[in-house]
């Protein structure tokens, strides 16, 4: 089983969330900007680098929102990867400098977009989007509710696998 450690940013501005469109082989969907750590790289530095690569925007990293541990099974794993992949996803709150979005060329994402939070449910997203929104307390807004008092409910009904949120609490995986 392969292990991948990655860091991501939840960037919200004026009711919109910064997302990137990820594509690899037959798999694709909208996700948070971020990606895998390079050898010896600090997670905060990885987020800054990845946000710049994927969106063209300079990020300022804020609060650590949580760490999500997840084992992906064959149908979720990109082609050319071990049939099972253990991902450790470190999620931070971040802000970005004003400026035009730039789409990554030749990388893992092909588009960056500010998406109204209330419209995210209508998009094909990777589970990381819901995980990051829950960690940031934005999941209620996506359902049309208040931004206060997020819910820990969720999950896909796929065998009750768990992820760890901030502080190590078990949370249902989506």
167 — phi, psi (to 5°)? 80, 0
Chain length of the chain: 174
The pLDDT value given to residue 153: 29
Predicted confidence band of residue 26 (pLDDT cuts 50, 70, 90): confident
The string of DSSP codes covering 82-142 is -SSEEEEEEEEEEEE-S------SSSSEEEEEEEEGGGGGGS-B-HHHHHHHHHHT-HHHH
Q: Give CA–CA dist 164/76, Å, rounded.
A: 19
Known catalytic residue at 111: yes
- pLDDT value at position 146? 46
* pLDDT tens-digit readout, 140-163: 776 665 443 333 323 333 233 334
Return phi, psi of residue 2, to 5°.
Answer: -80, 155
Q: Which residue has the tokens 């802000």?
A: 95
The contacts found for 149-157 with CB under 8 angstroms, 24 or more apart, are 154/130, 156/127
Global pTM reads 0.78
Active-site position among 54, 79, 84, 111? 111
How much is the average pLDDT of 26-53?
95
Lowest-confidence segment of 42-51, 110-119, 132-141 by average pLDDT:
132-141
As a whole-number percent, the residues of the chain with pLDDT over 70 amount to: 75
Give residue 81's pLDDT: 60
Structural domains in the chain plus CATH codes: 2-153 (3.90.79.10)
Residue 136 dihedral angles phi and psi, to the nearest 5°:
-90, -5
């Amino acid at each position: 089983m392969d292990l991948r450690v990655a860091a991501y940013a939840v960037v919200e501005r004026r009711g919109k969330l910064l997302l990137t469109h990820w594509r690899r082989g037959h798999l694709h969907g909208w996700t948070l900007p971020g990606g895998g750590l390079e050898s010896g790289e600090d997670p905060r530095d990885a987020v800054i680098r990845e946000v710049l690569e994927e969106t063209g925007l300079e990020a300022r990293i804020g609060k650590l929102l949580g760490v999500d541990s997840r084992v992906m099974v064959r149908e979720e794993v990109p082609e050319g990867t071990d049939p099972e992949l253990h991902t450790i996803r470190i999620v931070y709150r971040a802000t970005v400098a004003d400026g035009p979005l730039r789409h990554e060329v030749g990388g893992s994402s092909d588009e960056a977009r500010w998406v109204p939070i209330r419209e995210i449910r209508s998009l094909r997203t990777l589970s990381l989007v819901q995980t990051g929104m829950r960690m940031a307390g934005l999941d209620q807004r996506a359902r049309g509710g208040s931004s206060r008092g997020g819910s820990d409910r969720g999950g896909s009904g796929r065998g009750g696998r768990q992820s760890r949120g901030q502080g190590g609490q078990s949370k249902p995986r989506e």
